[in-house]
Each structure stands twice: as structure tokens, then as C-alpha cells.
Chains A and B, each alone.
Chain A
Amino acid sequence: MRPLLAIIIKGKEVMFESLLDHLYSALITDSRYVLILRGLRNTLIITFFALLLGLAIGLILAIIKVTVHSRRNPLLWLANLYTTIIRGTPVVVQLIIINTSIMAQSNNKILIAVIAFGINSGAYVSEIIRGGIQSVDRGQTEAGRSLGLTGAMTMRLIVLPQAVKTVLPSLGNEFITLLKETSVAGYVAISDLTKAGDTIVSRTFDPTAMYLVALVYLVLVVGLTALLSLMERRLARNDLR
């Protein structure tokens, strides 16, 4: 029994030591954790501002889609074209096109990423919000308008607040998707979190850094999910129907 036990303990020690070795070379050697932290910062900046841009674009498109009734209106035509093109092509292709053509003159890679992912997210957000607006009973609009409120006021004060509540879970999903989609930013040499992992792995020939990167994404997504369900519960408080 003794020798066997000793072997097991020894084995565990070896495993533990080798884990430490892997972590050491993934994070401490050459201060590689700096790359991860910088990547994390860039991923968060890109996601946050792309999210704001996506919401703004999505809101405008959604309002065009629900308020313009004439099918020949060029605004509606443009809004639908935008959604079709953006949803019909992969985000990484859009990123490359924006980097090499549309924003060819810009040196600000983070800005390029924000715009590329914001434009992409906007198309998805517009469909989500459009669904939300259409889910609000028509009687709400009629009540607002019959009190003398303008169409814009009715939309802003009555329809949108109710629509937001219905679409919050879908928007939350979209944001989580967006966070993960920014991982293709490295394609055009943007140092995001995934790229940081990739760069470290190319030095260590060991995937430990990628496991750590996966863990960071996971923590971010779980945190975001918790935050969203908290918001949902807050909003559901006054909705007892």
C-alpha cells in the first residue's frame, strides 16, 4: 500500500507542478499577462462602444421599418437593404472590407473595430427592436395619439419603454454574441483578448493561454447574463399582468 500511495501523491505533485509550469509560462514569463490584460481592455472597449453604436443604428432602422408604410419609400428600402446585406455576410468579411476599403485611411484600429461590429450589431438589433415595437398593442399608440401626443412622442414615451421590456432578453443575447464575435478582430491585427491568447500560444507552443482566455470570456458572459436577469426582474416588478 505504501508505495502505491506514494506514487499517487507523487503523481499529483507532478501534475500540480506541471500545471504551475504551464501557468507560469503562459502568464509570468516576459510579463505575458500584460498582453492578456491589454487584450481584455480592448475587447471590452470594442464591445461596449459597438453595443452603443449598434443600439443607435438598430433603433433608427427599427423606427423606419415600423413607421414607414409606403413600400416605395426610399428610407424603408435602404433600411431593408442594410439589414439584408449585413445579416447576409459574415462579420469578419465586413471587418476586412471596412479595414481595407471604407476606413482605409484610419490608423485607429479600435475605432475600426467599433464601427465594424457596431454596424453589424445594428442590423440584428433593428430586427429585435422592430419585433418588440410590433408586439406593443396598437391601442397604446391610439391612446397616445388621441391625447394629442405626436407620433414621435408616442413612440418615445409609450411604445419604446414597453418594447424595451419585451426585447431585453433578446438584446442581452445579442450583446453576449457581440462580445464573443469581437474575437475575430485579430484578423486585422487588433489586439483583442483572443489575439492575446494566440500571440502567447505562438510563443509557448502550449494551449494554456487559450484556456485562460476562454475562462475570461466565460466569466464575462456569466457576469453579463446575471446583470441582464437582474435588469429583467427590475423591469418586471410593475408588470403583473
Chain B
Amino acid sequence: MKKKWLAALLALTMAAFAGCGGGAGNSSSAPESSAPESSAPESSAPESSAPEEDAPAESAADSSAGGAVEKIKAAGKIVMGTNAEFPPFEYVEGNDVVGVDADIAAEIAKDLGVELVIENMEFTAALLAVQNGQLDMAVAGITVDEERKKSMDFSNEYVTSSQYIIIAKDSGLTADSLKDAGVIIGVQNGTSGDFYATDDIKGDPNTEEVARYKNAILAAQDLMNGKIQAVIIDELPAKSIVAANEDKLELLPDKLTEEQYAIAVQKGNQELLDAINATLDRLESEGKIEEFLIKHMGA
């Protein structure tokens, strides 16, 4: 687990520069990606021998009337944006972005018969870039919410998640005590954990008691050093982080929210959405998503 921390630190160092560019950048230029573009097939190769893999892809292609999907096929690649600091859904291993989302995206690419290109960027930058059409899709453990639905379209939900609270071991904090003045909550900037901590716990959009980090791992480091009192992050990353630091951190049992992850595409791109949903349905029926989760939780 130590090694993974190091790899993550290295990856986020590289991603920082992409992040600055993406965040402050203008909307017309392509998203600046720093992390090497990785085509995921390598990591998902073992699963690729599923039966009837062609059927859903064809039906998806049939339902499309040319346009978005045609363009992707003509380009021979589908571009996915993510923020590889969110294990087990996306993280960096060696030079590649891997994880549950990368595996799912590889299946989508395979069904479309194109290559998968992964752009690793800030979470908020990925959401902006998919709205502008700079990315074909954002697959980044994105929680579906009403606010986001106004600016982008979402696929079928593929994972159910909750926000969880991590505290320092034996600190005695409870979910209720996070409201108290002086209790600083660490979150990843712009995630639903950020919104929950800001709006629901502190109840003040300008609170100074929510510390917004670039990723949950940095927040957890500060928690272990006593700089903040809690970290709120999605269930599976929370479990990964606590598992790696069992002597110092503990997970509170409270489920703060009930939420679903889905893949985001540009508003109005129904065609691509249909193709994505076809692949998601297939993976669901084959039990593949469960398989991906088990594989990457153990990593």
C-alpha cells in the first residue's frame, strides 16, 4: 500500500499542471492532458473474451442515426476524461490510468470498435470539458445530481455509493459533531463530499471549515497529522484509504448520502448515450462491474 501512495503522489504531481491548465483554461482549446494517454485494453485484456460481445455493440450502432457515434468511429478513438486520484475507480499504475472506470470505458470502446484515449485531469476540469465537447465522455465516479443534470447528460447508473466520514482513530468524533465550530472537514474539491460538507453539515456556502484538497489522499495525510478532523469522501475510496492506514484512521458507519455514479456526456448527445448504455447493460448482465470492483479493491 505504501508503494501505491508513492505512485499516487507522483501521478498527482504530474496531474497538477494539467489541472491548472484545465481549470483556468479557455473553453475553446483542447483540454491539456499531462498524463500519458493510455489505451486501456492492456489492463482489461483478461476479460475481453466474453461471449456474444458483438451483439450489443451492433444494436447500439443500429439505433444511432450517424453523427456523434459516426464521428467517433471515423476518428477511430473515443476520448474519456477522468481524475485518476480516486481509487478504486481511477488511479495511476505505472504510466497508465487504471481502475473500474477505465475498465468500463475500455468495454465501451471495444463495443464501438475504437481505441480508448484517457485524459487525466482535475475532476472539475473533466466536468467542464465534457460539457464543451472536448471530451466524448467523463467517467470519473461522477455522482448524478439535479444540478449537474442541467449542464450534461448522464448514462444509466452503474454503481451505488454513499459519502462516508473518515476520522482519526479514537478521536471520538461522531457524524453529528462535524457541525461544531472548529471541526475542519477535508474533501476533494468539487466532489459530492465537498457539497455535502459545505451545504448539509456546515450549512454555509462560504464556510472556512471545509478544506478543499486536490485529492482525498492529501486530505487523509492532513487528517493523520491532525491538521483537520475528518475527511468526507465516497464509500470505496474511503475504504481504500482507511484500509491502507488502519492504525491511524477509522471509518464511521454512517452513510451520509445515497447516490449513483453514471457516465457524463455532452448535453443532447443521445446517440453516444445509447451506445454507452448498451455496453453498461451488457456488463451488468454479465456481472462484469462487480468483477472490476473486486479486482481493483484488492489492488
Q: Which of B20, B190, B218 is close to A199, meaning CB atoms less than 8 Å apart? A: B190
Q: Could you say which residues of chain A place their CB within 8 Å of the CB of B190?
A: 198-199, 201-203
Answer whether residue B160 sits at the interface, using C-beta atoms and an 8 A cutoff: no
Interface size on B, residues (CB 8 A): 40
The answer on a CB contact under 8 Å between B194 and A92 is no
**Within the complex, what minimum Cβ distance (angstroms) separates A25 from chain B?**
11
The answer on a CB contact under 8 Å between A205 and B148 is yes
Answer whether residue B44 sits at the interface, using C-beta atoms and an 8 A cutoff: no
The answer on a CB contact under 8 Å between B23 and A197 is yes
Partner-binding segment picked from A26-34, A58-66, A127-135, A155-163:
A26-34
**B-contact 0/1 string along A189-210, CB 8 Å cutoff:** 1010011011101110111001
The answer on a CB contact under 8 Å between B128 and A186 is no
Answer whether residue A150 sits at the interface, using C-beta atoms and an 8 A cutoff: no
- Decide: A30 near B205, CB < 8 A? Known: A186-B189, A202-B194: yes
The answer on a CB contact under 8 Å between B151 and A210 is no
User: Could you tell me the dominant secondary structure of chain A's interface residues?
Assistant: helix
Partner-binding segment picked from B110-118, B208-216, B243-251, B254-262:
B208-216
The answer on a CB contact under 8 Å between B189 and A195 is yes
The answer on a CB contact under 8 Å between A99 and B222 is yes
**Within the complex, what minimum Cβ distance (angstroms) separates B13 from chain A?**
6
Partner-binding segment picked from A4-12, A44-52, A104-112, A230-238:
A104-112
User: Which B positions have Cβ atoms within 8 angstroms of A?
Assistant: 9, 13, 16, 20, 23-27, 122-124, 127-128, 131, 147-148, 150-152, 186, 189-190, 194-195, 205-206, 208, 211-214, 218-219, 221-222, 225-228
The answer on a CB contact under 8 Å between A184 and B16 is yes
Answer whether residue A16 sits at the interface, using C-beta atoms and an 8 A cutoff: no
Name the residue of chain A whose CB is nearest to the CB of B148.
A205
Q: How far is the CA of A201 from the CA of B19 in the complex (A)?
A: 13
**Within the complex, what minimum Cβ distance (angstroms) separates A46 from chain B?**
16
Q: Could you say which residues of chain B place their CB within 8 Å of the CB of A197?
A: 23-24
Name the residue of chain B whose CB is nearest to the CB of A33.
B206
